[in-house]
Chain A
Amino acid sequence: MQERLKELQEEALQAVDAAADLKKLNDIRVSYLGKKGPITEVLKGMGKLSAEERPKMGALANEVRDLISSKIEEKQQALEAAAVEARLALETIDVTLPGRPVQTGNHHPLTRIVEEIEDLFIGMGYTVAEGPEVEKDYYNFEALNLPKSHPARDAQDSFYITEEILLRTQTSPVQARTMEKHGGKGPVKIICPGKVYRRDSDDATHSHQFMQIEGLVVDENIRMSDLKGTLELFAKKLFGEDREIRLRPSFFPFTEPSVEVDVSCFKCGGHGCNICKQTGWIEVLGSGMVHPNVLEMSGFDSKKYSGFAFGMGVERIAMLKYGIDDIRHFYTNDTRFIKQFKLN
């Protein structure tokens, strides 16, 4: 009996070894270890054995059974692993082929600049103020210290609808409206982006419609040095940490004193190049201290309150920043143009 078991063990292990697939292996399991298998058969003859041999033989039979079982298990794992290998090999793809495109659009470059500036000033405690594009002459000019007879007011330069209503020529009327709403009480801290219109023929540097963004701060004790400090931060944020600014005296009816603000050239760093016309400086905005007449007309006591205002053309900033050579690109909306301003 002992020999028969050894034989069976030998036979089974060989069969397991030879099994090429999982089905064969399962057949082997059934035929050797099943209820009708040869080991069970051998054990049926146990009754003929003596009382002390019986447990020994039982133990041996279990040993054989366990060995076969564990070998089958081992083989099964090997076969399964091989099957997985084979399947994976079949599933291999060319990972260098292009993926399925995900279509995305993006902001218009002017929106991009506007949002960048808005966010910078929101971080400094400003809110974003908006106003009508069709505006009253009063807010567009008069409230900004440009009375009807002022030489800087040429009807030829503005799109009038009636004598008293026009397309705003600047975003400054939003400042006048906002100040008026504040009812003579500060602080006012706003940034006003928007479309404006001038009676210009469209060419590479002129557009009858363009965008401006203006800022206004009115409070007690606002100084010109505050304007300088604020614009320095702005220049560094928008054009790079190394930028410096330079104020040049200028004239705007709604500010006094008035200054033009130049930023050190971000292309050449100030040594002189074609962008800065060899001067090292680029004019980016106009600003100044709010004219006392403007404060008074909007209901602020100019003895108690002072303020500063600044404004710039968004197209100009975008053209400088991205090296765009023709203002008409912004309104032609060629997708090959807009697409270039991806990152938000």
Chain B
Amino acid sequence: MFVSYKWLQEYVNLSGITPDELAEKITRSGIEVEGVEVLNEGLKGVVIGHVLEREQHPNADKLNKCLVDIGEENPVQIICGAPNVDKGQKVAVATVGAVLPGNFKIKKAKLRGEESNGMICSLSELGIDGKLVAKEFSEGIFVFPNDVTVGEDALEKLQRDDQILELGLTANRGDCLSMLGVAYEVAAILNREVKLPNPTVKPIAEKATDYISIKVEANEDNPLYVAKVIKNVKIAPSPLWMQGRLMAAGIRPHNNVVDITNYILLEYGQPLHAFDYDRFGSKEILVRRAKAGEKIVTLDAAERILTEDHLVITNGIEPVALAGVMGGANSEVQADTTTVLLESAYFKGETVRKASKDHGLRSEASSRFEKGVDPNRVRAAAERAAELLALYASGEVLEGEAVVDTLQIDPAVISITLEKINRVLGTDISIQEVKSIFTRLQFETSVDHETITVTVPTRRGDITIAEDLIEEVARLYGYDHLPSTLPSGSSTPGHLTAYQQKRRAVRRYLEGAGLYQALTYSLTSEEKATQFALEIREPIKLAMPMSEDRSHLRLSIIPQLLEVVKYNVARQNDRVALYEAGPVFLANGTEELPDEKERLAGAITGVWEQHQWQGEKKEVDFFVLKGILEGLFAKLGFEQKIEYRQAIVEGMHPGRTAEVYLAGEKIGFVGQLHPTLQKEYDLKETYVFELCLEAILSEEVAPLQYQSIPRYPSITRDIALVVEKEKVAGELESIIVEAGGKLLKDVHVFDLYEGEHMEPGKKSIAYSLKYFDPEKTLTDEEVTKVHDKVLTAVKEKAGAVLRG
């Protein structure tokens, strides 16, 4: 809502308060003023001029040479390019020395050899949005009515010597979509009076009810309909001040009748509609739900196909307006209109909202009905419009009005105790203070001891419960006066759950290991949704996606991370190493919520370590990423329960991918991206992993318990085993561990050889075995006994031969 500071003064005395101060006060008490616009900012020297002569510029087809009286001693010559400039017009002239928006200074100039002493202005040159300029002037200069005086300030005439407060209204404050509503609010804040308009109409003897009758078939949607008839109107431009106020409020002027309905909409917040009585098509207004498939051409020339959800005004035969949204073209007020049928009605917000949404038509009217108009202003607004039609369209108002009224107006009556107010707010306000706040709001009150009963005016439909009254008290009392305290009840221990703690530990570990945390979108394309998914279900699709790229919920994080890797590689960001922890979404049919499973995924590519001056460089490989995971499992305390199995995973390199098992359950995979995909993403060797985070974080580990530090030395034996190339290290290790029994404390690979000195098809793996007995120092014989067992086992079970 754009609120004119000058206009507002008609209802509330604003003396002593600047627009900026007013804006601050309004903001602090509940309605955010998003800006204060000075309409004539940076403008000066624009006066009314009278075009005395106009002739074609001798050297330019599209220019006019004009002689303009600007109220000075002599008329001045001005060259004007506007197509509509003509002799006899009153126009806005930016005189020499004037400044226009954008610090555009008007100087004496020569245009194609002809002197020009100023500029005849269009409204957009005066800083008015072109969309708000009346159609007839939108392509050229603005022509003033003849009664303006030459030499006067043109901007004042256009109501530009004003400041506009832009209110950002929350959904509950529809009451402030009107000047009167704002006036009540401002009066309460300033503790001043509200002066309401008091329309006086002198009707002619003819009765409105002889011209029109009303029938409402949808009383629920339209409990109150008032129709007035005004005869002998003369369609003309509305007065300049009215046009100025409309434009400042963001509404384009049309003609006096339409402008007056819009003016009342701004003043009372009550949308009105003017029909051309002679084009209405009958003497009966019938309000009903539309029939399915019924059509109406609205004022914007669009044909709209209706459903039974939409409320229409009809002439008994066909729709003439989409109720509360927009009128029909068939009954539009036009230049030759003489009799106006004026509608002021109460339409149910929900009904209007549905129509406005279905037809993508949001109008000044619909937004007011949606938020709820004041039922008590429906008649008053019609009366005020009739007054203005008489004044500014020379109309004759017919006696009375046609009405259908089934509206029950029940103002909310709410009681609240002082104790409750102070308990909710933490304040110590007195009953007198509370009462005075409601008096300022013009809410009727009665006080019984410490209980106050408030009758809420119908204009404030947002107030329905005691808490709403508390808010009114709080905002006018001032939140600055609220004390600062802390909750005083029973104390509660604050903590993270074990799961949350471990999740943080996982993040910190991965970051310590060199990975950056990424955060990507949950929405992706249908194709990518299921790529790399550890568990595949039908991907979940949005009902109305904004694009195909963001239409489905992800089942894996890897595709999103690959996009990030690609982005970074393309920007030559070195060492791209990322991880993300977050949910993937597994559908459970259309009735149930999906299972949201947290995954932990990572991707690395490029140089892993680079020691520049030492000349060392290490590209990422499978074992870099596997090492990071091994470290993670060790940190979480279950590295012994983890197993890696060579696996085929779609999208992954078939020879360089392992599935990860925790205590026999598959929890994810790690490996190289398939070269075909690498190429698609423009990547070099890239390694990725994805794990079920929940499986990792929920795995039970034994509580921490100190293990005594070994007091006896251990004995190490190294062996090199020659095996078939296909034999995997993991298998050999299991055999060794099993055969080594309790004394074998540790085993690890320290060499792998597949070179030329090997028999074809064979490889050599060297292990270091550490034997240890916590109870005593092992003898050589004891170790040899176990070690021989190990050697026998690998020979028998894996065909391994000890390398000479």
In the assembled complex, the CB of A117 is this many whole angstroms from the nearest CB of chain B, namely 12
Contact present for A228 and B483 (CB under 8 Å):
yes
Contact present for A249 and B516 (CB under 8 Å):
no
Contact present for B514 and A110 (CB under 8 Å):
no
Residues of A within 8 A of B542 (CB): 159-161, 167
Residue of A nearest to B354 (CB): A149
Residues of A within 8 A of B515 (CB): 105
Residues of A within 8 A of B540 (CB): 134, 161
Contact present for A103 and B609 (CB under 8 Å):
yes
In the assembled complex, the CB of B505 is this many whole angstroms from the nearest CB of chain A, namely 12
Residues of B within 8 A of A209 (CB): 521-523
Residues of A within 8 A of B596 (CB): 132-134
Q: How far is the CA of A121 from the CA of B492 in the complex (A)?
A: 11
Contact present for A229 and B485 (CB under 8 Å):
yes
Known: A226-B485, A250-B30, A251-B170. A108 touches B479 (CB 8 A): no
Residues of A within 8 A of B432 (CB): none
Instruction: Please tell me if A70 contacts chain B, counting CB pairs below 8 Å.
Output: no
Contact present for B593 and A225 (CB under 8 Å):
no
Contact present for A111 and B517 (CB under 8 Å):
yes
Residues of B within 8 A of A115 (CB): 504
Q: Which of B75-83, B378-386, B420-428 contacts A (4 or more CB under 8 A)?
A: B420-428
Instruction: Please tell me if B391 contacts chain A, counting CB pairs below 8 Å.
Output: no
Chain B, range 467-493, C-beta contacts under 8 Å to A: 467-468, 470-471, 474-475, 479-480, 482-493
User: In the complex, which of the residues B494, B514, B614 contacts A189, with contact meaning CB atoms closer than 8 Å?
Assistant: B494
Q: Mark B497-530, 1 if CB is under 8 A from A, else 0.
A: 1001000100110111111111111110000000
Residues of B within 8 A of A134 (CB): 540, 553, 585, 593-594, 596
Instruction: Please tell me if B371 contacts chain A, counting CB pairs below 8 Å.
Output: yes
Contact present for B489 and A222 (CB under 8 Å):
yes
In the assembled complex, the CB of B311 is this many whole angstroms from the nearest CB of chain A, namely 16
Q: How many A-B residue pairs have CB under 8 A?
A: 254
User: In the complex, which of the residues A104, A155, A248, A251 contacts B173, with contact meaning CB atoms closer than 8 Å?
Assistant: A251
Residues of B within 8 A of A187 (CB): 487, 489-490, 492
Residue of A nearest to B487 (CB): A226
User: In the complex, which of the residues A105, A133, A155, A186 contacts B514, with contact meaning CB atoms closer than 8 Å?
Assistant: A105
Instruction: Please tell me if B613 contacts chain A, counting CB pairs below 8 Å.
Output: yes
Instruction: Please tell me if A92 contacts chain B, counting CB pairs below 8 Å.
Output: no
Chain A, range 286-344, C-beta contacts under 8 Å to B: 289, 291-292, 306, 330-336, 338-339, 344
User: In the complex, which of the residues A101, A126, A132, A248 contacts B494, with contact meaning CB atoms closer than 8 Å?
Assistant: A126
Contact present for A246 and B520 (CB under 8 Å):
no
Q: How far is the CA of A292 from the CA of B609 in the complex (A)?
A: 59
Chain B, range 605-636, C-beta contacts under 8 Å to A: 608-614
Contact present for A221 and B593 (CB under 8 Å):
no
Residue of A nearest to B171 (CB): A152
Q: How far is the CA of A291 from the CA of B373 in the complex (A)?
A: 24
User: In the complex, which of the residues A107, A248, A344 contacts B28, with contact meaning CB atoms closer than 8 Å?
Assistant: A248
Instruction: Please tell me if A127 contacts chain B, counting CB pairs below 8 Å.
Output: yes
Instruction: Please tell me if B544 contacts chain A, counting CB pairs below 8 Å.
Output: yes
Instruction: Please tell me if A8 contacts chain B, counting CB pairs below 8 Å.
Output: no
Q: How far is the CA of A336 from the CA of B507 in the complex (A)?
A: 19
In the assembled complex, the CB of B303 is this many whole angstroms from the nearest CB of chain A, namely 23
User: In the complex, which of the residues B171, B474, B516 contacts A339, with contact meaning CB atoms closer than 8 Å?
Assistant: B516
Q: How far is the CA of A275 from the CA of B93 in the complex (A)?
A: 40
User: In the complex, which of the residues A110, A258, A334 contacts B519, with contact meaning CB atoms closer than 8 Å?
Assistant: A110
Contact present for A121 and B486 (CB under 8 Å):
no
Q: Which of B191-199, B334-342, B573-581, B705-713 contacts A (4 or more CB under 8 A)?
A: B573-581
Residues of A within 8 A of B541 (CB): 161
User: In the complex, which of the residues B32, B171, B371, B494 contacts A127, with contact meaning CB atoms closer than 8 Å?
Assistant: B494
Instruction: Please tell me if A230 contacts chain B, counting CB pairs below 8 Å.
Output: yes
Q: Mark A202-236, 1 if CB is under 8 A from B, else 0.
A: 00000011000000010111111110111011000
Instruction: Please tell me if A95 contacts chain B, counting CB pairs below 8 Å.
Output: no
Instruction: Please tell me if A136 contacts chain B, counting CB pairs below 8 Å.
Output: yes
Q: How far is the CA of A226 from the CA of B488 in the complex (A)?
A: 8
Residues of B within 8 A of A338 (CB): 516-518
User: In the complex, which of the residues B512, B522, B577, B612 contacts A133, with contact meaning CB atoms closer than 8 Å?
Assistant: B522
Tally of contact residues, A, Cβ under 8 A: 88
Q: How far is the CA of A118 from the CA of B353 in the complex (A)?
A: 40
Residue of A nearest to B571 (CB): A334
In the assembled complex, the CB of A10 is this many whole angstroms from the nearest CB of chain B, namely 54
Residues of A within 8 A of B494 (CB): 121-127, 189
Instruction: Please tell me if B659 contacts chain A, counting CB pairs below 8 Å.
Output: no
Q: How far is the CA of A135 from the CA of B553 in the complex (A)?
A: 13
In the assembled complex, the CB of B286 is this many whole angstroms from the nearest CB of chain A, namely 26
Q: How far is the CA of A125 from the CA of B609 in the complex (A)?
A: 44
Q: How far is the CA of A128 from the CA of B498 in the complex (A)?
A: 11
Tally of contact residues, B, Cβ under 8 A: 97
In the assembled complex, the CB of A42 is this many whole angstroms from the nearest CB of chain B, namely 52
In the assembled complex, the CB of B276 is this many whole angstroms from the nearest CB of chain A, namely 33
Q: How far is the CA of A197 from the CA of B522 in the complex (A)?
A: 9
Instruction: Please tell me if B219 contacts chain A, counting CB pairs below 8 Å.
Output: no
Q: How far is the CA of A162 from the CA of B588 in the complex (A)?
A: 13
Q: Mark A266-291, 1 if CB is under 8 A from B, else 0.
A: 00000000000000000000000101
In the assembled complex, the CB of A306 is this many whole angstroms from the nearest CB of chain B, namely 6
In the assembled complex, the CB of B24 is this many whole angstroms from the nearest CB of chain A, namely 9
Instruction: Please tell me if B350 contacts chain A, counting CB pairs below 8 Å.
Output: yes
Instruction: Please tell me if B27 contacts chain A, counting CB pairs below 8 Å.
Output: yes
Known: A134-B553, A248-B32, A259-B479. A98 touches B576 (CB 8 A): no
Instruction: Please tell me if A36 contacts chain B, counting CB pairs below 8 Å.
Output: no
Residue of A nearest to B598 (CB): A130
Q: How far is the CA of A247 from the CA of B608 in the complex (A)?
A: 51
Instruction: Please tell me if B495 contacts chain A, counting CB pairs below 8 Å.
Output: yes
Residues of B within 8 A of A230 (CB): 486-487
User: In the complex, which of the residues B173, B550, B590 contacts A162, with contact meaning CB atoms closer than 8 Å?
Assistant: B590
Instruction: Please tell me if B564 contacts chain A, counting CB pairs below 8 Å.
Output: yes
Instruction: Please tell me if B646 contacts chain A, counting CB pairs below 8 Å.
Output: no
Residues of B within 8 A of A128 (CB): 496-497, 500
User: In the complex, which of the residues A100, A223, A256, A334 contacts B465, with contact meaning CB atoms closer than 8 Å?
Assistant: A256
Residues of B within 8 A of A29 (CB): none
Q: How far is the CA of A103 from the CA of B611 in the complex (A)?
A: 11
In the assembled complex, the CB of A280 is this many whole angstroms from the nearest CB of chain B, namely 11
Q: How far is the CA of A104 from the CA of B575 in the complex (A)?
A: 11
Residue of B nearest to A191 (CB): B494
Instruction: Please tell me if B701 contacts chain A, counting CB pairs below 8 Å.
Output: no
Contact present for A223 and B474 (CB under 8 Å):
no
Instruction: Please tell me if B568 contacts chain A, counting CB pairs below 8 Å.
Output: yes
Contact present for A334 and B567 (CB under 8 Å):
yes
Contact present for A101 and B519 (CB under 8 Å):
no
Contact present for A151 and B353 (CB under 8 Å):
yes
Residues of B within 8 A of A233 (CB): 486
Q: How far is the CA of A97 from the CA of B611 in the complex (A)?
A: 11
Instruction: Please tell me if B172 contacts chain A, counting CB pairs below 8 Å.
Output: yes
Instruction: Please tell me if B327 contacts chain A, counting CB pairs below 8 Å.
Output: no
Known: A134-B596, A160-B542, A248-B479. A106 touches B511 (CB 8 A): yes
Contact present for A249 and B475 (CB under 8 Å):
yes
Residues of B within 8 A of A38 (CB): none
6 A–B contacts from the bound complex (CB under 8 Å): A122-B496, A151-B370, A217-B487, A224-B424, A225-B483, A335-B575
Where the two chains meet, the residues of B that have a C-beta atom closer than 8 Å to any C-beta of A are: 27-30, 32, 170-173, 349-350, 353, 357, 370-371, 423-427, 465, 467-468, 470-471, 474-475, 479-480, 482-497, 500, 504, 507-508, 510-523, 540-546, 550, 553, 564, 567-568, 571, 573, 575-579, 582-583, 585, 590-591, 593-594, 596, 608-614
Where the two chains meet, the residues of A that have a C-beta atom closer than 8 Å to any C-beta of B are: 97-98, 100-101, 103-108, 110-111, 115, 118, 121-128, 132-136, 149, 151-152, 154-155, 159-162, 164-165, 167, 186-187, 189, 195, 197, 199, 201, 208-209, 217, 219-226, 228-230, 232-233, 246-251, 253, 256-260, 289, 291-292, 306, 330-336, 338-339, 344
Known: A133-B522, A223-B423, A289-B467. 4 other contacts (CB 8 A): A127-B497, A135-B593, A186-B489, A250-B170
Across the A-B interface, the 7 shortest Cβ-Cβ residue pairs = A225-B426, A223-B426, A257-B471, A251-B170, A249-B30, A103-B514, A247-B479
